Amino acid sequence: MASVKEFLTTGNLGGVHLGMSAEELRALLGEPEATGFQREADIWKYGALQLVFRKETGHSLLAMIVLSTNDGGKAWPKNLSFKDWMPGSDRSIEEFLQFLAEAGIQGRLRPGFSSEYQVNYIVEPGAEAVFNLESGRSRLEKIVYTDRTPAKNNSRQVSVSVPESYWKHLQKLASAQKISVAKLCSGWVLERIRKELAPSAFAALTEQVKADD
């Protein structure tokens, strides 16, 4: 059984949570009914449940959980039936806010995303409920949970030029790995640096850079 309250506040959905590997999810839910790929992310679908994986340190880890009510009326996985509140396209904003109040959960409008056609409610730390208003009344479209913590970026960007004759080849290689050309080339550069610099030489170079700063 799954709890919407627990999902909204912790991201745990009947044992499914961020950071899980594809192998762990396959063991819990079985093979996905459908898969897809979008913007360097793999998408697994189990009925109305969508799981989005992104590659971290060479491994695909669960980065987003989506409860979609706008997916042709597809059912939830059997082992993820809800015990406290049933998400559905017939759920209104008023019903959602009433559930939050009864569960003792604080929610707020997401600035810049709400309009006359859509309303987004955020529940910290990582949940967001999206409502569609186009039918003249509010209808729950999806509930998403992801890590909204800004990523730390201690890297520097390098621009390189390659001959036009190489470009299509790079695109094919990147597409086969389901990553961008930039990420493909970045991986090659980092791999070459590790090979060129032995641990001792790399440590000495790091100390020299710190001294120069």
Return per-residue pLDDT of the chain as tens, 213 residues. 899 999 999 999 999 999 998 899 999 999 999 998 876 789 999 999 999 998 664 567 899 999 998 766 678 877 778 889 999 999 999 999 999 999 999 999 988 777 888 999 999 999 999 999 988 899 999 999 998 876 555 566 667 777 878 888 888 887 777 677 777 787 788 777 766 665 555 555 556 655 655
Say what the pTM is.
0.69
CA distances from 59 to 12, 53, 62, 65 (A): 21, 9, 10, 18
Residue type, 74: K
Q: Indicate the domain borders of the chain.
A: 4-146, 164-212
CA separation (Å) from 28 to 21, 62, 66? 11, 13, 17
Q: Please enumerate in sequence order all residues whose Cβ is within 8 A of that of 74, keeping only pairs 6 or more positions apart, or say none.
A: 47, 48, 68
Residues sharing a CB contact under 8 Å with residue 188, sequence separation 6 or more, in sequence order: none
